[in-house]
Structure 1
Amino acid sequence: MDLSKVKMVVTDMDGTLLNSQHEVSGQFLELFQKLKERDIVFVAASGRQYQSIVDKLPSIKNDIIFIAENGGLVMQNDTELVSTPLASPAKKRVLDILDSIDDVHPVLCSKNSAFILPESREFEEKLQEYYSEYAVIDDLKAFEGEILKIALYHFENSEQFIYPFVKPLEGDLQVKVSGQNWVDVSSLDANKGFALRKVQQLHGITPKETMVFGDYNNDLEMLALADFSYAMENAHPKVKKAAKYSTLSNDDLGVEAVLEKLLA
């Protein structure tokens, strides 16, 4: 394996670069400076809100590219590179389905804020980890602003209690189990792979020169765009099957371990 070919490193955040306490390691920040010295492009790709990813990487925010909202938004130096909104008819279709699901907490995700219902107040503490900018509104269906995706949260298990209801939307919309508690619904083109392909094209970097790390199903499309694709030890079985290589868990500094080899 010739890691000297790598010109771009892309990593998911939760369950991948971040540990179980949602923290970035000091070791990663040291390794990042070495990546920067070698002109290796770094991309943080997450289902998180853009502002929330920036909050996790404040010291390097001006030196990296952000793929936010599962590919719905790509930002660099506070400049929008890619935006893929969810059409209003699709938004209504998703929200209508939610009327038949118990214990689901929907989040409308726009470029600059997120919106939840008053009855989701108990969910706010969880929301704040992923969305630093949000507001409570009385009626999500009445919201007329542009949104990038609808995130759906279940306190127990999203794949079991939410996904079966929204699975019929697949084919028309992007439906992704993006974590233990999350399902995201967005435009068909709003995925991390679509966004990463745009970033690769902008920088003239090929899949043969790309390294990607992921742990959940919303990472599958971008893993397919890298010859150096890594699944975390804690990854979903589908991710482990799709990735070409594996590394340690997010709590055991799996991303850092591979970056050490890359820089060596």
Structure 2
Amino acid sequence: MSIIYKGREIKYIASDLDGTLLFDEGHELEQEVYDVIEKIIDKDVLFIVASGRTYTNELEIMEPLKDKISFIASNGVTCYHKGKQLFDNVIDKEHALKIFELVNEKQLGHLFVSCNSQLYSASKDEKFIHHMNEDLHLYMKLVDDLNEINQPIDKISIFNEDGYQSVLPTLKDGLPDIKVVSSGNQWIDFLPFGVNKGNALKHLLKEVGLELEDGIAFGDQDNDIEMVSEAGIGFGMKSGTPSLKASADEIVTSAIEKLKEIVA
């Protein structure tokens, strides 16, 4: 079995979660989404979740299908296929300290860091802590000072209630040696240069013997640009950022409706 879309045989489908398949910062997909992904898998097409979330959090969201799909986590920092980790990238301590200093000095948002899927934060804001732990199930470990973390850091993020647009220019100007991308309406991620979902997708596909042109990708934020632009067919959400939409081959209002059309 296979999927044919616009005369092209589709061998993989990669999709972002938040703002694409998952909304309101939840931790569970609508049952319809799980059902459509199951149909995709039944047609021998590889389904890949590609999110800014940690691998542990992705596993929770994709629990019903976690053993049947592949994962790109933390915006391409790491990826897993059939439970095997294919690679892992880290942010060097010097760059991490620069990020902490700028964000704290200018009060640009709530900082948290990921170390092999364990999240740490030094925030004292109870509302933010509750949102991360209880609403998003991201379960941060609270520390007195992020500078004291001695584990390898694979991703640093901030949450800004007023939206990423209000602080993104300041961050990009102040951190020219670090990749700064929006990953949601209120979220910004810091990554080593060269780390993105597109490069992670290339690595994963090479591992399973597929080519970029063999499939399609969905996304909505700047952290999806490389993946959407490099896949065989890239779909951008109508609600997405201007840069993301400019990189897409087609703009869609609903990713799940487009997937239902493709898999029919």
Q: Above 0.5 in TM-score? A: yes
* CA distance, structure 1, for counterparts of residue 7 and residue 211 of structure 2: 14
8 Å contact kept, 2:237–2:245: yes
**Structure-2 residue corresponding to 1:257:** 257
1:152 partnered with 2:158: yes
Q: Which has the larger displacement, 141-150 or 118-127?
A: 118-127
> SS of 1:5's equivalent?
strand
Cα drift, residue 148 of structure 1? 0.6
* CA distance, structure 1, for counterparts of residue 71 and residue 136 of structure 2: 14
In structure 2, the CA distance between the partners of 1:131 and 1:115, relative to structure 1 (3 Å rule), is: farther
RMSD: 1.8
Alignment counterpart, residue 7 of structure 1, candidates 7, 11, 19: 11
Cα drift, residue 227 of structure 1? 2.3
**Letter aligned with residue 84 of structure 2:** T
Alignment of 1:187-206 (within 5 A): 187-206=192-211
Alignment counterpart, residue 17 of structure 1, candidates 10, 14, 21: 21
Question: Any unmatched runs of 5+ in structure 1?
Answer: 249-253
In structure 2, the CA distance between the partners of 1:139 and 1:3, relative to structure 1 (3 Å rule), is: farther
**Letter aligned with residue 67 of structure 1:** I
**Structure-2 residue corresponding to 1:87:** 92
8 Å contact kept, 1:212–1:229: yes
Cα drift, residue 177 of structure 1? 1.4
In structure 2, the CA distance between the partners of 1:131 and 1:149, relative to structure 1 (3 Å rule), is: farther
> SS of 2:23's equivalent?
coil
1:119 partnered with 2:124: yes
Cα drift, residue 234 of structure 1? 1.5
Q: How many residues align?
A: 258
In structure 2, the CA distance between the partners of 1:202 and 1:182, relative to structure 1 (3 Å rule), is: same
Cα drift, residue 145 of structure 1? 0.7
In structure 2, the CA distance between the partners of 1:45 and 1:262, relative to structure 1 (3 Å rule), is: same
8 Å contact kept, 1:84–1:189: no
Question: In the TM superposition, what whole-angstrom CA distance separates every residue of 1:120-140 from its partner, at most 9, and x where no partner exists?
Answer: 433112223445332000000
8 Å contact kept, 1:49–1:131: no
Alignment of 1:35-74 (within 5 A): 35-74=40-79
In structure 2, the CA distance between the partners of 1:137 and 1:247, relative to structure 1 (3 Å rule), is: same
